[in-house]
Amino acid sequence: MDDLGLSLREDDLNMTASSRYSATTAQLIEALQEARARTLELVSDLSGEQLMGPRLRIVNPMRWEIGHAAWFQEFWILRHLGGLAPILAQGDGLYDSARVAHDSRWDLPLPSTAETFAYMNQVLDRVCDTSDRRARDPINDYDESYFFHLALFHEQMHAEAITYTRQTLCYPRPRIGLRQTGDRRPPAEAISGDAYIPGGRFILGDSSGPVFVFDNEQQPHEVEVAPFSISKTAVTNRELSNFVEDGGYQRREFWSDEGWRWRRNAAADHPMYWQRESNGRWLRRDFDEWVALEDRVAAIHVNWYEADAYCRWAGRRLPTEAEWEMAASCEPSSDGGSITNNKRRYPWGNNSPTPANANLDWRAMGCIEVDALPEGDSAFGCRQMIGNAWEWSSTAFDAYPGFMPGPYKEYSAPWFGDHKVLRGGCWATRSSLIRNAYRNYYTPDRRDVWAGFRTCSV
């Protein structure tokens, strides 16, 4: 257990005879309570007006979103698994994201803020009362641990999304009751250049044993990867500003056809939260404040098109998701000419993330220098592959061979094809959620995500 009070690190916990997974129900309940405390902190300082906010394609009204997180927990743990009746008569019509169109969520007869909080408490209290619940899914062979993990990770993802929303809507930085590493740790010696990865056959997907794995990572399968070189760090603000100042946004030759269409329609001349002062220096908007752009901090809030154009300008390319996962999780053989069959759950090994090896859990409340946290290096010397900023890959999000949808059928399958895969998590991602094999996905036009990228030699 780490000092978050978050006990959900499966490889630190003992297996129980009744569970395919290794966290106990008590530990999962503790994790659900911890996640809920964070969700409430993310919204508790906001006015009723702010909790609804403007109707934008890339956000949800937060009053809807927090009720939806509770509804999801009720649906899977109390109703599906437990066979209990719904708490709210209209709950499905308000909160089922598969049924309630996104742009209608501002118009729903939502419970008041106080009623929403009361509903959230009621659901969690019942989830914590394990006395009258079935322990196995009556339809499929999923046990209660599966659904506790599902509800937990779902709420953690929404907490990260709410953090994005606060940036999008220019709200103040959230106040999270975790110990913050406000000093952001002393800068490590600057690193640069590429790590050479010898390539070879490896298993793409999660093959690390009895942990909860979303359906899109299941069916681990062997792939062949040609040797490649990948940057040890993510692209920095300084590097991205060199692209901007070299006319990168105006020069057609760096952009794909689709990317150029996006750029023109969006009238994008630089990263979206950047602003140039009269003296030529760049500022960036950090929640509701403007701060000087930090040279060595990872560049974020760039979409896939922007990352792709930067790569072309730099004579580089984005890694495929297989390359990214190999660089993060494989180890060189003793002769250095190939990889071993050992696959790490995290770049540094199989132990839980800590503040010394990854910037997660809102601890730094923002991105840090790309050189920081050398203890988190991969076996090949790539830094911060977990945490700090999500990293775009060149790969379209699609099913692994043999894909079977999980009980929550809308998690992956509806998004196959037109999304791009991101890897690694950002500073607002939870340490219990993220692993090397975890696949995130967004459409290539999204700039609100805390996403940057690293590059490969062509």
Q: How far is the CB of 453 from Fe ion (least distance, A)?
A: 26
- Least CB distance from residue 165 to Fe ion, whole Å? 13
Question: Are 172 and 287 a contacting pair, CB within 8 Å?
Answer: yes
| Radius of gyration, alpha carbons of the chain | 22
Nearer to Fe ion, 15 or 52 (CB): 52
E strand or H helix at 221, and its extent? strand 221-225
Give the H or E element holding residue 423. Answer: strand 420-423
Site string for Fe ion, 81-120 (x = CB under 5 A): ----------------x-----------------------
Of the two residues 155 and 239, which places its CB atom closer to Fe ion in the complex? 155
197-216: which residues touch Fe ion (CB under 5 A)? Answer: none
What is the smallest separation between the CB atom of 39 and Fe ion, expressed in angstroms?
12
**Helical ranges in 74-173 per DSSP H:** 91-95, 113-128, 144-168
Q: What CA–CA distance (Å, rounded) separates 231 from 221?
A: 26
Q: Counting Cβ atoms within 10 Å, is residue 97 exposed (0-12), middle (13-18) or buried (19+)?
A: middle
The CA distance from 440 to 367, in Å, is 18
What x/- string results for residues 46 through 85 when contact with Fe ion is judged by CB under 5 A? ----------------------------------------
The one-character DSSP state at 401 is T
The answer to whether 80 and 96 are in contact (CB under 8 A) is: no
Helix (H) or strand (E) holding 368: none
> Whose CB is nearest to Fe ion?
97
Window 126-165: residues binding Fe ion (CB under 5 A): none
Task: Count CA within 13 A, CB hemisphere, residue 227.
Answer: 9
Number of residues engaging Fe ion in binding (CB under 5 A): 1
In the region spanning residues 372 to 391, those forming contacts with Fe ion, defined by CB under 5 A, are: none
CB closer to Fe ion out of 97 and 354 = 97
Nearer to Fe ion, 97 or 219 (CB): 97
Query: Rounded CA gap, 121 and 126, in Å?
Result: 9
Closest distance of CB 411 from Fe ion, Å: 9
Shortest distance in whole angstroms from residue 103 CB to Fe ion? 16
> Residue 158 or 420: which CB sits closer to Fe ion?
158
CB of 437 to Fe ion, least distance (A): 21
Binding site for Fe ion (CB under 5 A): 97
